[in-house]
Each structure stands twice: as structure tokens, then as C-alpha cells.
Amino acid sequence: MAAMKVQMTLTKPVTFVTGNAKKLEEVKMILGQSIPFQSLKLDLPELQGEPEDISKEKARLAAKEIGGPVLVEDTCLCFNALNGLPGPYVKWFLMKTGHEGLNNLLAAYEDKTAYALCVFSLALGPDFEPITFSGRTEGKIVPARGSGNFGWDPIFQPVGSDFTFAEMLKDEKNKISHRRRALDKVKEYFYDFNYAPRSGNV
Ligand SMILES: O=c1[nH]c(=O)c2ncn([C@@H]3O[C@H](COP(=O)(O)OP(=O)(O)OP(=O)(O)O)[C@@H](O)[C@H]3O)c2[nH]1
Ligand SMILES: [Mg+2]
């Protein structure tokens, strides 16, 4: 007998909460029409600690703020020579030291390998424990190349490519990015639970 799918009904569409317009642009491109969602620009305070805990806490805060289902994400750039740092703190390292400063952090090490990690958290409402979905892309840190309009894209060259994320077309980045890999899992979750908003069609 085929397993019956659980029908998950939400009272409202999922709100993707972020203060980062570039993230939103990519999330929209990757999700397309697959999940009905709306977005809200809000810069939430962030806990310190492990990426999953930071992402989950952001989701709890966002769900409280919105009073409904939310999706958030936290992105890390992790250097293997530094045991994963700067990780979730890359925003501040980038802001204070730039691409060159991030490269210089690895000057004392031969190992320039790194990975980009995206942790999405979905909270179905303020009383629900957030669920996480992670995506990871391996690569290395290089001197900046390509357009500098999104964060550390110019210094991250994924494994198997001669180009940095910033030198790629958006479509190319979105095929292999940390964000794409995490969102594939989010989509799968929505598919498995046969998600349907209460009022409308998917
Ligand atoms: O080159 C990049 N390619 C990416 O794919 C990417 N994704 C995020 N980032 C940057 O990495 C930091 C994460 O910090 P972060 O996750 O806390 O984001 P944020 O504070 O900007 O937004 P949010 O927390 O409101 O969602 C911030 O500096 C982001 O600009 C990226 N840079
Ligand atoms: Mg943030």
C-alpha cells in the first residue's frame, strides 16, 4: 500500500525574513513558483554560536514578530585552516577588512580551502520549534575577481570551477550554491508534507 501523504495546512503563506536584498533576489530565483512565499525586510538580532543555533534563533524571533510561518537563513563562509571561522561572523570581517583582509587571514596557511554554508530555518509559527535545512558548497579563497555586488562572492571559487561566484552568471551560481542546496531540501520538505495554504492554490 502506498504511504499516505500528510497534508500540511498553513494559515498564511510563509514569510521569508531577511535584511539582505541580495539573498532575497537569489531565493526568489531559486524558489520560483515552487513555494508560495512573501518577504519582509527586517534585520534581526543574531545570537553568537553554531550556525544552526543562530539560524533557529532568528526563526524564533521572526515567528514571534510575524505571528505566522517564517523562513530565515544564516550564511557562513568557513575557512578550513581556521576550523570554520569566520563562519557566521563573516559579515563583520567583510565589512571591517574587505576582500583583501579575508584573504590575509589565510596568509599564514597553505590551506586556502573553504566552504560556504547556508542554514535555512522554517518555523511554522511562534509556538513551533524551527526545523533546519543546510546546504554546503566546497571551494577555496582567492584574490577578488568578478563583480563585487554581493558580499564575498568575488573571493570564493567553488571546487570544479575556474570562476569565482562573482564571475559566474547568476544561473550558474544558483545551480551549485550553498543557498540552492539548502533550498532544494526546503522544497523537498514542502513537497513531502503536501503543503497547501489554507486559502489558496499552490
Ligand atoms: O558573496 C556572498 N554570497 C552569498 O551567497 C552570500 N550569502 C550571504 N552573504 C553575506 O554573508 C554574510 C552573511 O551574514 P547573514 O547570514 O547574517 O546575512 P545578513 O545579515 O546580510 O542578512 P539576514 O541575516 O538579515 O538574512 C553577509 O555579509 C551577507 O551579505 C553572501 N555573500
Ligand atoms: Mg544577519
**For 96, phi and psi rounded to 5 degrees?**
-90, -30
> How many Å from the N-terminal Cα to the C-terminal Cα in the chain?
27
Per-residue model confidence as pLDDT tens digits over 158-188: 999 999 999 999 999 999 999 999 999 999 9
> What's the domain count of the chain?
1
Is position 3 within any domain? no
Q: What is the pLDDT of residues 75-84, one digit of tens each?
A: 999 999 999 9
Ligand 1 closest atom vs CA 54: 17
In a domain, 1, yes or no: no
Indicate whether 24 belongs to any domain.
yes
* Closest residue CA from atom 32 of ligand 1: 151
Question: pLDDT digits over 92-128, tens only?
Answer: 999 999 999 999 999 999 999 999 999 999 999 999 9
Assess if residue 202 is contained within a domain.
no
- Residue 2 in any domain: the answer is no
Cα Rg of the chain (Å, integer): 18
20 part of a folded domain: yes
Supply the pLDDT for residue 5.
61
Reported as a single tens digit per residue, the pLDDT across 14-59 is 999 999 999 999 999 999 988 888 999 999 999 999 999 999 999 9
Q: Is residue 58 part of a domain?
A: yes
| pTM score of the predicted model | 0.94
Which residues line the pocket of ligand 1, CB cutoff 6 A? 18-20, 23, 43, 46, 73-75, 90-91, 94, 150-153, 165, 179
Judged by its nearest atom, the ligand closest to the C-alpha of residue 88 is 1
Q: Is the pLDDT of residue 192 over 90?
A: no
Domain that holds residue 30: 9-196
Q: How far is the CA of 44 from the centre of ligand 2 (A)?
A: 7
DSSP code string of the chain: -PPPPPPPEESSPEEEEES-HHHHHHHHHHHTTSS-EEEEE-------S-HHHHHHHHHHHHHHHHTS-EEEEEEEEEEGGGTT-EETTHHHHHHHHHHHHHHHTTTT-S--EEEEEEEEEEESSTTS--EEEEEEEEEEE-S--S--SSTTGGGEEETT-SS-GGGS-HHHHHHH-HHHHHHHHHHHHHHHTT-EESSS--
In a domain, 82, yes or no: yes
- In this prediction the ipTM stands at 0.99
**Which CATH number characterizes residue 62's domain?**
3.90.950.10
